[in-house]
C-alpha cells in the first residue's frame, strides 16, 4: 500500500511537472491551521483588554513626611560696590596727563589726572599783583591818615592855648573831616586787600582742583577721558572716573514683590547665584528694605504724567539691599544675581503635598481620562479647587492596604507652594496620600 501511495505521489509530481505548475510552499499548506489560531489569539487579547477597562482608577500617591519646612522669597537684582564714587572735574580745560587706567588700584589722595593750568596760573599772578596793589593802597591811606591826624592835633592844641580864638571853627572842622576821610580810605584799602586775598585764594584753589585726586582707596571701574581731551565744566560736572571703594565687601540690590515684602526683614540670611558660576551659591544677609516702592522713585525723578500713568500699571516692588562678602574677588559689579531669602522655618512638622489637599474623589474621576505623564490632580477642575490658607480645615485621602480611600481631616499651616504643614491626630508620617488619578493604559 505504501508503494501504491509513493507511486501516486510520483504520478502527481509528474503531472505537475508536465503541466508546468510550481509546488505550493509549506506555509500555505498549513495556513488552514495557523490562521484560525491567530484569529483566536487576537480575539482573546481583545476580550481581556475590554475586561480590564472595568477595573477601578489607579491613584497617584505620595507619602506623608515629617521634616522642617523652610519658607523662602526669591528675587532678582544686580551686584554693586558698597561705595561707588563718580570722580568729576570742576575745572574746564585740556587733559594734560592721566595716571591710571581701568582695574588699577588707587589710594586716597593719589593723582588720577592733571588738567592744563596755564590760564589758572595767569589768574594767580594777576591776583597776587592785585593783592600787592591793595596792600600799597592801605599803606598810602594810612600815611594820609597819620598826616591829617597830626595836623588836627596841632590845631586843637593851638585852639586850646588861644582860648578858642584861633584857629577858626571852620578850619578845625575841616581838619576833623580830613581825618575821618582818611580813616574811611584806610578801611576801604584794607577791604580791597581782603578781596584780593580771596581772589588769590580762589585762583589757588582752582589750580588745586585741576589736579584730580582719588577721594577714596579702591579700584578704578570706569575711565571716561583720554589725554588731550577737553573737559567742559560750564553747566555740570563731567564724570572722569568711577571708583569702587572696596570690592571685598559688595552689595546686592534686589526687587522684592509687594506680595512678599511683608515677609522680608533686616538680618535674614540669604543665598544667591550668578550665571558666571553655575551651581555655586554665595551667602548674603539682608541689610534693609526700602519703604518707598519703585513707583515712588519713578515719580520723584520728575517723570512725565504719561510715564507716571504707565508706571501705575507695572508690578510694584521694593528694593532690598543685601550685604555680600567677596574676599576671593570672584564677584564683579553689575552681575545679575537671583537671591533666595530665608524668611521662616517651621521646625520639624508633618508635611503633605498641596495636591493631596486639592484632590477630591468623585464618580466622575473614574470615567475621566488623562495622560500618564500629566495626571489629573484637580488643579484645572472647579470642583476640586480648595483654599489652602493657614488655619483652614481640609481633607486628605489616604490609600488603605485594600486599595480603598479613607478621608482624614487636617488643619493646614504654613506652605511653600509645594508642601503644606498639617496637624491631625489620625494622620501619621509614612501614610500614602492621594494626589491624583492616572488614566488606564490604552
Q: What is the pLDDT of residues 354-384, one digit of tens each?
A: 888 888 886 444 444 333 334 444 444 433 3
Q: What is the mean pLDDT of the chain?
A: 82
The pLDDT, as a whole number, for residue 149 is: 94
In a domain, 259, yes or no: yes
Whether 287 and 411 share a structural domain: no
Three-class SS state of 293 = strand
The pLDDT, as a whole number, for residue 25 is: 61
**8 A C-beta contact, residue 100 and residue 220:** yes
In a domain, 159, yes or no: yes
In a domain, 233, yes or no: no
Domain hosting 399: range is 58-67+347-438
Q: From 409, 401, 412, select the one nearest 425 (Cα to Cα).
A: 409
Alpha carbon distance 250, 287 (integer Å): 12
The pLDDT, as a whole number, for residue 36 is: 76
Alpha carbon distance 374, 157 (integer Å): 123
Alpha carbon distance 157, 173 (integer Å): 14
Whether 194 and 99 share a structural domain: yes
Whether 46 and 32 share a structural domain: yes
In a domain, 47, yes or no: yes
Last residue of a domain, one of 297, 315, 346: 346
Q: Which H/E stretch holds residue 94?
A: strand 93-98
Burial class (CB in 10 A: 0-12, 13-18, 19+), 438: middle
Alpha carbon distance 379, 418 (integer Å): 13
Whether 257 and 342 share a structural domain: yes
Whether 252 and 328 share a structural domain: yes
In a domain, 238, yes or no: no
Q: From 249, 248, 244, select the one nearest 218 (Cα to Cα).
A: 244
CA 417 vs CA 95, 357, 377, 397, 413: distances in Å: 60, 12, 15, 19, 12
Whether 314 and 353 share a structural domain: no
**8 A C-beta contact, residue 330 and residue 278:** no
Q: From 121, 106, 52, select the one nearest 215 (Cα to Cα).
A: 106
Angle in degrees, 0-180, between the axes of helices 118-161 and 169-209, rounded to the nearest 10: 160
Three-class SS state of 87 = strand
- Which three cell numbers mark 310? 504707565
Task: Kindly give, in sequence order, each residue whose CB lies less than 8 Å from that of residue 37, ignoring residues fewer than 6 positions away.
Answer: none
Task: Kindly give, in sequence order, each residue whose CB lies less than 8 Å from that of residue 58, ignoring residues fewer than 6 positions away.
Answer: 437, 438, 440
Burial annotation 337-372 (CB, 10 A radius, 16+ → b, else e): bebbbbbeebeebbbbbbbbbbbbbeeebeeeeeee
Last residue of a domain, one of 346, 365, 383: 346
Tally Cβ neighbours within 10 Å of residue 297.
Answer: 13
CATH code, 374: 2.40.420.20
Whether 332 and 362 share a structural domain: no
CATH code, 322: 2.40.30.170
Alpha carbon distance 235, 92 (integer Å): 11
In a domain, 423, yes or no: yes
In a domain, 254, yes or no: yes
Alpha carbon distance 151, 144 (integer Å): 11
Last residue of a domain, one of 286, 319, 346: 346
Whether 256 and 329 share a structural domain: yes
In a domain, 217, yes or no: yes
Tally Cβ neighbours within 10 Å of residue 156.
Answer: 14
Phi, psi of 209 (to 5 degrees): -75, -15
Whether 95 and 205 share a structural domain: yes
Query: Which parts of the chain have pLDDT scores under 70?
Result: 1-34, 48-56, 297-313, 362-389, 439-442
Looking up cell 592801605 gives 138
Whether 114 and 195 share a structural domain: yes
Looking up cell 483654599 gives 387
Whether 200 and 325 share a structural domain: no
Number of residues that this document lists for the chain: 442
Whether 268 and 191 share a structural domain: no
Task: Kindly give, in sequence order, each residue whose CB lies less than 8 Å from that of residue 154, ignoring residues fewer than 6 positions away.
Answer: none
Burial class (CB in 10 A: 0-12, 13-18, 19+), 17: exposed
**Number of domains comprising the chain:** 4
Q: From 367, 369, 355, select the one nearest 415 (Cα to Cα).
A: 355
- Which three cell numbers mark 194? 581782603
Amino acid at each position: 500500500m505504501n508503494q501504491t501511495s509513493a507511486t501516486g505521489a510520483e504520478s502527481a509530481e509528474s503531472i505537475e511537472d508536465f503541466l508546468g505548475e510550481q509546488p505550493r510552499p509549506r506555509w500555505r499548506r498549513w495556513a488552514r491551521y495557523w490562521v484560525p489560531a491567530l484569529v483566536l489569539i487576537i480575539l482573546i487579547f481583545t476580550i481581556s483588554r475590554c475586561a480590564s477597562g472595568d477595573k477601578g482608577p489607579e491613584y497617584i500617591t505620595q507619602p506623608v513626611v515629617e521634616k522642617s519646612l523652610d519658607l523662602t522669597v526669591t528675587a532678582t537684582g544686580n551686584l554693586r560696590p558698597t561705595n561707588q564714587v563718580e570722580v568729576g572735574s570742576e575745572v574746564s580745560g585740556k587733559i594734560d596727563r592721566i595716571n591710571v587706567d581701568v582695574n588699577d588700584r588707587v589710594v586716597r589722595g593719589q593723582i588720577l589726572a592733571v588738567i592744563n593750568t596755564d590760564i589758572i596760573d595767569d589768574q594767580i599772578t594777576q591776583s597776587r599783583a592785585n593783592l600787592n596793589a591793595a596792600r600799597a593802597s592801605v599803606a598810602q591811606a594810612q600815611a594820609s591818615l597819620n598826616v591829617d591826624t597830626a595836623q588836627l592835633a596841632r590845631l586843637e592844641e593851638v585852639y586850646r592855648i588861644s582860648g578858642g580864638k584861633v584857629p577858626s571853627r571852620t578850619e578845625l572842622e575841616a581838619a576833623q573831616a580830613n581825618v575821618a576821610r582818611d580813616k574811611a580810605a584806610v578801611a576801604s584799602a584794607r577791604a580791597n586787600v581782603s578781596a584780593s586775598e580771596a581772589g588769590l585764594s580762589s585762583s589757588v584753589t582752582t589750580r588745586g582742583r585741576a589736579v584730580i585726586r582719588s577721594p577714596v582707596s579702591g579700584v578704578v571701574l570706569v575711565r571716561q577721558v583720554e589725554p588731550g581731551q577737553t573737559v567742559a565744566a560750564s553747566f555740570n560736572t563731567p564724570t572722569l572716573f568711577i571708583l569702587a571703594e572696596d570690592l571685598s565687601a559688595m552689595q546686592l540690590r534686589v526687587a522684592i514683590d509687594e506680595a512678599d515684602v511683608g515677609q522680608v526683614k533686616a538680618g535674614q540670611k540669604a543665598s544667591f547665584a550668578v550665571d558666571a558660576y553655575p551651581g555655586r551659591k554665595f551667602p548674603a544677609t539682608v541689610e534693609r528694605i526700602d519703604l518707598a516702592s519703585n513707583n515712588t522713585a519713578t515719580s520723584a525723578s520728575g517723570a512725565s504724567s504719561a510715564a507716571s500713568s504707565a508706571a501705575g500699571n507695572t508690578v510694584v516692588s521694593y528694593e532690598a539691599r543685601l550685604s555680600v562678602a567677596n574676599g576671593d574677588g570672584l564677584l564683579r559689579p553689575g552681575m545679575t544675581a537671583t537671591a533666595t531669602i530665608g524668611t521662616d522655618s517651621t521646625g520639624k512638622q508633618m508635611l503633605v503635598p498641596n495636591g493631596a489637599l486639592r484632590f477630591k474623589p468623585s464618580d466622575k474621576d473614574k470615567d475621566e481620562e488623562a495622560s500618564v505623564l500629566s495626571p489629573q490632580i484637580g488643579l484645572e477642575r472647579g470642583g476640586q479647587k480648595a483654599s489652602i490658607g493657614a488655619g483652614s480645615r481640609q481633607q486628605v485621602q489616604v490609600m488603605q492596604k485594600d486599595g480603598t480611600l479613607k478621608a482624614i481631616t487636617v488643619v493646614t499651616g504654613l506652605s511653600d507652594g509645594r508642601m503644606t504643614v498639617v496637624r491631625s491626630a489620625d494622620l501619621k508620617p509614612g501614610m500614602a496620600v492621594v494626589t491624583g488619578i492616572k488614566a488606564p493604559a490604552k
